[in-house]
Amino acid sequence: MALTTAAAILGSAVIGGAASAIGSSKAAKAQTKAAQEATAAQERASALALEAQKTGNAEAIAAAKEAAAAAQTAQDAANKEARDLSRAGYDETKGLYGQGFDSAQAAYDKSFTGAQSAFDQAYQRQAGFQNPYIQSGLTAQNQIMQLMGLGGDKNAADYGQYAKQFGTEQFEQDPGYAFRQAEGMKALERSASARGGLMSGGALKGIQRFGQDLASQEFSNAFNRYQTERGARLNTLGGLSSAGQSASNVMTNAAGQYGSNTAGNNMAYGNATAANSLGRANAMAGNAADYYGTQGNLALAQGQNTAQNQYNIADAVSRGAQNIANAGSQSAYNVGNAQAQGAMNAGQARASGYVGAANAFNNALGQVGSYYANAPMNNAMMNYYNNNSPSTTRAAAAAPSMVMQQPVFGYDPYTGRGANYLTNT
């Protein structure tokens, strides 16, 4: 009976261990299959994710290029418009500067011309006032020079007339002397005629004496008349010459003032023209500097915008490549991790099966060993229940039956029966 019971216990343990091992093996295979399927699913998901990343990256790069091209077009248009406006402003400012400085120059020209005309008119009117005196003075001066034999026409009858000392020639040309001589000669001739004869010796002597007496008497008078006439003529000519000299002095002063006024007018005109030209040059230079500075800044801004657009495209391409690399790396990591986790799970399942089978066998062996170890105690208890007299002798103890002979304490709680309702077989 004991062997039968032990065999049953051992068989049950073996069957349980085998069932556990089979279950563990199936579980391991199922785990391996699940791990393989999960790995395949992860690979498919990673491939789809990578493809989606590539597609998205290509679309992002295309969008970045399109945006950069649109931005470049807008920037170029704005830059061109700004350049055109700058050029128009430059041309307009240049024209306004030109008009302003031309108007200023025209005003300077008009002012100069007006002032010079006034100076010319004043001088010409002064010359008109003084020129007759100058001309008469010049004529008188020339006449004096000719009379004195210092200039003029040397062939003239009066050339050097007053430069000679008073002598017989001048005396004989004296009008008073000539008149008295003629009248005296006429009287002598009338006297001779009255006597009815030609000139006698006495008559001739009378004539000679008359001429001598007349010459003696009239020489002094003729000299005085000569001096008076000479002085009157020269004084008159001298007065005219002095008036001419005064008029010349006036015109000399007028000419000096005219020259000074003309020089001042020319100086003022030159300074105004120079200042106007310098102002024009400075204004034009400033306008040109502003224009070319603006053009340079616009060109620089356009270059920077173009560079930024190209950088944005390159950055999009770089970030896209980085994203694809990261996605590929992550996908590879996920696939490897899934494969490793599947392999680990399968290994753990197999190890768990092996451990379960070993535990089942160990448990069965433990149950058998426990049965034999507890057999004396069990027999004693059974004898006590059956005979109410416990026995503790190992040799007398027999393997108890697997069927309970009598309920504990004489009562079966499952049937409600009292003690001794079963028999010991």
Q: Which of 126, 115, 118 is nearest to 267 (CA)?
A: 115
Percentage above 70 pLDDT, the chain: 71
Whether the pLDDT of residue 38 is over 90: the answer is: no
SS (H, E, C) 279-334: HHHHHHHHHHHHHHHHHHHHHHHHHHHHHHHHHHHHHHHHHHHHHHHHHHHHHHHH
Q: From residue 406, how far is each of 359, 377, 393, 413 by CA, in Å?
A: 35, 17, 21, 12
Q: Which of 209, 167, 168, 149 is nearest to 185 (CA)?
A: 209
pTM given for the model: 0.48
* 3-state SS assignment for residue 44: helix
Query: pLDDT at position 409, please?
Result: 47
What is the rounded average pLDDT of the residues 398-404?
48
Q: What is the pLDDT of residues 382-395, one digit of tens each?
A: 777 777 655 545 44
Q: When comparing pLDDT for 162 and 290, which is higher?
A: 290
Range from 67-71, 179-183, 415-419 that averages highest in pLDDT: 67-71
Range from 37-41, 190-194, 217-221, 270-274 that averages highest in pLDDT: 270-274
Query: pLDDT at position 425, please?
Result: 44
Whether the pLDDT of residue 221 is over 50: the answer is: yes
Q: Which of 33, 45, 24, 36 is nearest to 340 (CA)?
A: 36
**Which conformational region is residue 416 in: left (phi greater than 0), alpha (psi within -120 to 50 degrees), or beta?**
left
Query: pLDDT at position 242, please?
Result: 92
Query: pLDDT at position 418, please?
Result: 53
How would DSSP label each residue in 48-63?
A: HHHHHHHHHHHHHHHH
What is the rounded average pLDDT of the residues 227-251?
89
Query: pLDDT at position 275, please?
Result: 95
Question: Exposed, middle or buried, 179 (CB in 10 Å: 0-12/13-18/19+)?
Answer: exposed
Query: pLDDT at position 419, please?
Result: 47
Whether the pLDDT of residue 249 is over 70: the answer is: yes
Question: Exposed, middle or buried, 77 (CB in 10 Å: 0-12/13-18/19+)?
Answer: exposed
Give residue 256's pLDDT band: very low, low, confident or very high (50, 70, 90). Answer: very high
- Distance (Å, whole) CA 350 – CA 254: 139
Q: What is the pLDDT of residues 62-98, one digit of tens each?
A: 999 999 999 999 999 999 999 999 999 999 998 999 9
What is the rounded average pLDDT of the residues 28-45?
82
What is the rounded average pLDDT of the residues 235-255?
92
Please state which of the ranges 82-86, 205-209, 218-222 shows the lowest mean pLDDT.
205-209
The residues, ordered by sequence, that sit 6+ positions from 197 with a Cβ below 8 Å of its Cβ are: none
Query: pLDDT at position 360, please?
Result: 67
- Distance (Å, whole) CA 33 – CA 78: 65
DSSP secondary structure letter of residue 155: T
Query: pLDDT at position 137, please?
Result: 93
Whether the pLDDT of residue 416 is over 50: the answer is: yes
Query: pLDDT at position 402, please?
Result: 45
Percentage above 90 pLDDT, the chain: 38
Query: pLDDT at position 14, please?
Result: 61
Give residue 328's pLDDT band: very low, low, confident or very high (50, 70, 90). Answer: confident
Query: pLDDT at position 213, please?
Result: 59
Query: pLDDT at position 424, please?
Result: 45
* 3-state SS assignment for residue 239: helix
Q: When comparing pLDDT for 79 and 420, which is higher?
A: 79
Q: What is the pLDDT of residues 336-370, one digit of tens each?
A: 888 888 778 777 777 776 777 677 667 766 776 77
Give the sign of the dihedral formed by CA 65, CA 71, CA 77, CA 83.
negative
